[in-house]
Amino acid sequence: MADNDLASIQEARDLVRKARSAQLGFAKLNQVQIDQVVQAISKVMTAMAEDLAKLAVEETGYGNWEDKKQKNLLASEKLYERIHALKTIGVIAEDRQQKIDMIAIPAGVVAALIPSTNPTSTTIYKALIALKAGNGVVFSPHPTATKCIGKTVAIIHQVLKELHISEDLVSMITMPTLEGTGELMQHADLILATGGPAMVKAAYSSGTPALGVGPGNVPVFIEKSADVQVAVRRVMAGKTFDYGTVCSSEQAIVTEESIAAEVKKALLAEGCYFLEGAAAEKIKGLMTGPRGSMNPAIVGQPASTLAQMAGIEIPSGTRLLIYEEQGVGAGYPFSYEKLTSLLGFYTVSDWQAAGNLCNQLLQNGGLGHSMAIHSNNEEIIRHFSLNQPVSRLLVNTPSSLGAVGVSTNLDPSLTLGCGPVGGSSTTDNVGVKHLFNIRYVAYGLDSASEQQTDNNGVDVEAISRLVFEQLKKMNYVPTNV
């Protein structure tokens, strides 16, 4: 094993040990004190949203800073607005009628795995929800994003220092390797895994409780009752956001023959370019990496950069490159997830065929994640909600923004559960409620005789005896009487 692998393993062990020590003290704070820490970090991160966004783009080359700033604000400002009033420490509920109390117990030390596509925003979000629940957190950054993630952690350290809280509570592996991340996952109390399928699988195989997410291959159905112009603008807003790096971004449009020409016209008006012939083949050649997966070089790139990489000419101002795909699966690259300015396009006969095709697309790498529908037909919307294997059905909203809670009232989150069908342990937008355990304090009920009488004074025991007497006269005697 290489020296850096051994160093990474040792660093992971040390960071977890220090975080656990710091967390034991942190967990003794009351709700007000915990909330002050979370509020302070949120406020500073809101102010730093633009600087961190620019640093993330500079380091990774993915996306654009304007949209990454919005993701940072989602992870700091909007998330704080949603969680600040939640009870997460100590007694969080007392039900005197049912005689059950609920006490929140922190998970302990959270291992937080951070992707390169949303590095600073995911770090901010995981830090806030971990601390709100009384936990410590150790980050394992993607190797191509250590600088911007490290800067984010350093800012958190400054806040903790000012509040006289141990900086060991929040830390980051500075020498990230697969071996070091594996060691971190084994020694932590809970794993928050956001990243590729292999990493999520490793998290669930580590022996440590994990919350991971599967890949997104989000189909978007534009149904004939929709306002096509509005629907297309929403699709464009979703797919072009941060150049498609959000896992819930639209991957393929599915629409009906009766409105297909209108949809195409609207897409062209919004700056889309439909690929054909040699240009299409050149772009397809870019899409697959050396190991058969998505080529990382195309991730989070504008259409102009993709065209330059492929050596093709496209109109100035083109925002998306679209290809009319003919199938799903091997040999049909536009039927897979594309975390960049590429979009598939399918035409089907009717909404039933659209449902079947959307299901196939989800089976092709997006099970349990999300899909979008643009429609004014509530019956069709309900049919899709009952039959599509997703955890989120986004209705008349950009899927990338709606799924993470920007344009919907879903919980703000950058870790979107896919449920058992997608290999996840939850279908929720993962948040603070997933990072603490609940201890139930259950008091004994009143005496049995009192429990047999309802609030109106009816003697249930006496009524039962009368019923059994009648049953005996009917030659039926219950076995247990």
Of 272, 284, 274, 275, give the one whose Cα is nearest residue 235.
Answer: 272
> What is the CB-side half-sphere exposure of residue 217 using CA atoms within 13 A?
25
Looking at residue 457, the DSSP 8-state letter turns out to be -
- Confirm if 253 and 346 have CB atoms less than 8 A apart: yes
Q: Which two tokens stand for residue 249?
A: 């971004």
Q: What is the DSSP letter of 231?
A: H
* Residue with tokens 């350290």, as numbered in its chain: 157
Alpha-carbon Rg of the chain, whole angstroms? 26
Q: Which two tokens stand for residue 287?
A: 């899409």
SS (H, E, C) 3-52: HHHHHHHHHHHHHHHHHHHHHHHHCCCCHHHHHHHHHHHHHHHHHCHHHH
Active-site residue set = 247
Residue showing tokens 């250590």? 146
d(CA 400, CA 192): 20
H or E segment at 441? strand 436-442
Nearest to 396 by CA among 414, 378, 412: 378
